[in-house]
């Protein structure tokens, strides 16, 4: 029996920043997907990974990211990339979290940057997406910037299960990135890749209904 439902935040509870990345790439005539490519290259040691683990501050991240872009022959404004993280809440997902909290342990598992950016800029990142909108309905919000580890590192999921007092087999996990779902599935979680809001809701209800 499933006892816990775990949600990624950006791209699941909120809209995805990938659309904003794509718009910025088009605006300055960059190849499609280059920002995501930079962020996924050397995934354990790149600037994005270090920032999400709280290993570097914003200024250092910007220098590192721009150097990574330059090494590929591109001039990209790292500050503008961070502004692409502005997202909006998906109301149906918030309502789903609220409903599920009456029956399941519900948690947010998020790679985030908000511990690194300072009070002035917090409205430009995940806080703009109102993580507080689900805070009252979840057992825990598990954040890479506080743990010092990030998805898809297996330790992140191990800490999440330990924090929640759950075995992986008791958990359903939703994320919009396959790379983040793979280690969770290998541990024994049931995983759902989020393509859009309604698909995620429908797939989750099917999974929970089949289990119940």
The model's pLDDT over 190-209, given as tens digits with 9 standing for 90+, comes to 999 999 999 999 999 999 99
**Tokens representing residue 67 in the block:** 């150097």
pLDDT of residue 6: 98
What is the average pLDDT across 169-177? 97
β-partners of residue 140 are 107
Predicted confidence (pLDDT) per residue in 130-153, tens digit: 688 899 999 999 999 999 999 999
117: pLDDT strictly greater than 50 = no
Instruction: Report residue 114's pLDDT band, with 50, 70 and 90 as the boundaries.
Output: low
CA gap 86, 212 in Å, rounded: 37
124: pLDDT strictly greater than 80 = no
128: pLDDT strictly greater than 70 = no
- Helix segments in the chain, DSSP class H: 18-27, 34-40, 47-52, 58-71, 78-83, 91-100, 132-135, 144-147, 154-164, 178-187, 197-211
* 3 state DSSP class of 192: strand
Predicted confidence (pLDDT) per residue in 101-110, tens digit: 999 999 999 9
pLDDT of residue 50: 95
Domains detected in the chain = 4-15+87-211 (3.40.50.1000), 18-83 (1.10.150.240)
Percent of the chain with pLDDT over 90: 83
76: pLDDT strictly greater than 60 = yes
- According to DSSP, residue 173 is labeled E
Predicted confidence (pLDDT) per residue in 82-108, tens digit: 999 888 899 999 999 999 999 999 999
116: pLDDT strictly greater than 50 = no
**How many other C-beta atoms are found inside a 10 Å radius of the C-beta of residue 17?**
22
What is the enclosing helix (H) or strand (E) of 174?
strand 171-175
- According to DSSP, residue 14 is labeled B
27's CB contacts (< 8 A; 6+ apart) are none
**Tokens representing residue 8 in the block:** 């990624």
First to last CA, the chain: 7
85's CB contacts (< 8 A; 6+ apart) are 10, 17, 20, 113, 124, 125, 126, 128
| pTM for the structure as a whole | 0.88
């Amino acid at each position: 029996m499933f006892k816990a439902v775990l949600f990624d935040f950006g791209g699941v509870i909120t809209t995805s920043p990938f659309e904003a990345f794509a718009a910025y790439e088009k605006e300055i005539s960059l190849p499609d997907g280059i920002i995501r490519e930079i962020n996924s290259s050397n995934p354990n040691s790149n600037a994005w990974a270090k920032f999400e683990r709280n290993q570097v501050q914003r200024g250092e991240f910007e220098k590192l990211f721009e150097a990574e872009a330059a090494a590929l022959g591109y001039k990209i404004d790292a500050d503008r990339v961070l502004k692409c993280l502005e997202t909006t809440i998906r109301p149906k997902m918030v309502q789903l979290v609220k409903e599920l909290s009456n029956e399941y342990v519900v948690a947010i598992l998020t790679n985030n940057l908000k511990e690194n950016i300072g009070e002035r800029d917090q409205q430009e990142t995940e806080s703009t997406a109102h993580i507080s909108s689900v805070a009252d309905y979840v057992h825990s919000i598990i954040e890479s910037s506080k743990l010092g580890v990030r998805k898809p590192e297996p330790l992140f999921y191990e800490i999440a299960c330990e924090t929640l007092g759950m075995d992986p087999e008791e958990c359903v996990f939703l994320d919009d990135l396959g790379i983040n779902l793979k280690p969770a599935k290998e541990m024994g979680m049931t995983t759902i890749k989020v393509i859009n809001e309604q698909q995620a809701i429908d797939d989750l209800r099917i999974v929970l209904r089949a289990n119940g």
